[in-house]
Amino acid sequence: MPRPGLLRPVLLALVALVLLPLPSASARGDRRPDLKRLFAQAGTVGTMVVQERGGRRERTTIVDAPRSARRYLPSSTFKIPNSLLAIERGVASGADEPYPGPHPNVIVDGAPLLPAQCEGDLTLATAFRFSCIPIYQQIAREIGLDAYRRDLRALRYGNGRLDPALADRFWLEGPFAISAREQVRFLQRLRTGRLPLRVRTMDEVRRMMITEDTAGTVVRSKTGYVFTTTPRVGWWVGWVQAGERTWTFALNLDVTRPEHLAARTTIGRAILRELGAPLTG
């Protein structure tokens, strides 16, 4: 049974004081229209917002400012707040919460969308890693729409538009949506522990997000694929940490060809390297 009211209201005022503002599309921030060429070379259009912190440098870089403010369905990037709420509310005990198989796949364009791992025994961590939609739909049904309304408002995540008819898939079909700029604001608060959640909850999800840990550089990230709209949209969000320096980012792009799914991370990594993040390949 979900625990009610675990988002601590006493912290909400503190959150307001420590929010790290992201510049508006018409205000400050380094514009890098030259980096739009990376999207063009891949035959698509997209945006990326990067906040760099640490050392002597604090800057925000925006590629395609108008698009960075445009909201899209979060798709699997919503697994970040969804995992936080599952653990915070007791729907999942933590990253090791078991989900015994078998589980159904999701059919898109007549073929299974999800990797075969999603059909077998899972934990919350592996369901997160492989983007196993049915597990998170089960979590959504246990949390309930009323709790989501309150908690997502407290987390300041998304536009708050939750359709009761889509209670276990509102992040896949809308009208719930979020912009790249809003994703970065949210991720900054998660990265710095400034969400109104228990420390353990944030620690668990930050560990689940690790996709790379080499030579002193740690990447925490999540991809997303919006397959219910035209055009379809791909996401890559997260942050890179190298010593005291961090690059918190959100990228989205139009997916009109299969290879655009891989372009989410290849373009994102190229932009992060351009901005000084010590990434390879």
Which residues are catalytic, by number? 76
Q: Which residues contact 272 (CB under 8 A, 6 or more apart)?
A: 50, 240, 247, 249, 279
Q: How far apart are CA 115 and CA 113, in angstroms?
A: 7
C-alpha 278/C-alpha 29 separation (Å) is 22
Q: Are 133 and 115 in contact (CB under 8 A)?
A: no
Residue position matching structure tokens 């791909």: 234
Three-state SS for 34?
A: helix
Output helix, strand, coil percentages for the chain, rounded to the nearest 5.
40, 25, 35
Q: Does residue 89 contact residue 2 with C-beta atoms inside 8 Å?
A: yes
